[in-house]
Amino acid sequence: MFLMKKIIKHYLFFIIAAIASIIIFILNAELGRRAFETTVYSLQEMLIVIPPIFVLLGLLDVWVPKETMVKFMGENSGIKGIILAIIAGSVAAGPLYGAFPVSAVFLKKGASLRNVFIFIGAWSTTKIPMFLFEYPGLGPRFAVTRLLVDIPGIIIIGFVLAACMKERDRKLINEKIMESTEK
């Protein structure tokens, strides 16, 4: 009985979503079919993106010593940590949900929250392929201006978010990171 409650609690959102999808399908078969197709498409995309990210995370976890990560992206890394976070986020491939497991490994290895926030911001807005698409499509003036606005904005947001974090929240994040990476 305890195991069943634990499973239901763990998968509650999925169970509710599945029930809602069945109800939608019963009420409107076409809408239900499109919702199912969208779900299948999203799962296929995740199955293509997530495995390579986890392989790279495993390599990062094994190959990069904690001392190196602290030196280059830790609390006292200064401008080099910020630049490295922006570069790492900008060259990363895949959708934004791929940034979160990478961020967890960065934090586990000693990167500062500020640099992780900057990394996530860069991943979401300064990707090189996006710039290469914008440059010919929207013009060099637009593409360069967007980068010149986004990069300082990302840095400011990283600093503000890190400054707003309470110590208990930082500890909770670190506990969750250690807990999730030990599994």
Q: Is residue 59 included in any domain, yes or no?
A: no
Domain co-membership, 130 together with 177: yes
Judge whether residue 170 has pLDDT over 90.
no
For the chain, the average pLDDT equals 87
Domain co-membership, 36 together with 122: no
Q: Is residue 58 included in any domain, yes or no?
A: no
Domain co-membership, 97 together with 151: yes
Angle among Cα 120, 48, 17 to the nearest 5 degrees reads 80
Which among 146, 117, 122 is positioned nearest to 134, based on CA atoms? 146
Q: Band of the pLDDT at 67, cuts 50, 70, 90?
A: confident
Domain co-membership, 34 together with 73: no
Domain co-membership, 27 together with 82: no
Q: Is residue 112 included in any domain, yes or no?
A: yes
CA 74 from chain centre, in angstroms, equals 19
Domain co-membership, 44 together with 70: no
Domain co-membership, 24 together with 87: no
Global pTM?
0.75
Range of the domain at 71: 64-182
Judge whether residue 141 has pLDDT over 90.
yes
Highest mean pLDDT among 13-17, 88-92, 121-125: 121-125
Q: What is the pLDDT of residues 22-48, one digit of tens each?
A: 999 999 999 989 988 998 898 888 888
Q: Helix, strand or coil for residue 62?
A: helix
* The total number of structural domains that make up the chain: 2
Domain co-membership, 41 together with 82: no
Domain co-membership, 90 together with 117: yes
Q: Is residue 55 included in any domain, yes or no?
A: no
Domain co-membership, 68 together with 45: no
Measuring CA to CA, how many Å separate 79 from each of 64, 114, 116, 141, 181?
Answer: 20, 12, 14, 27, 28
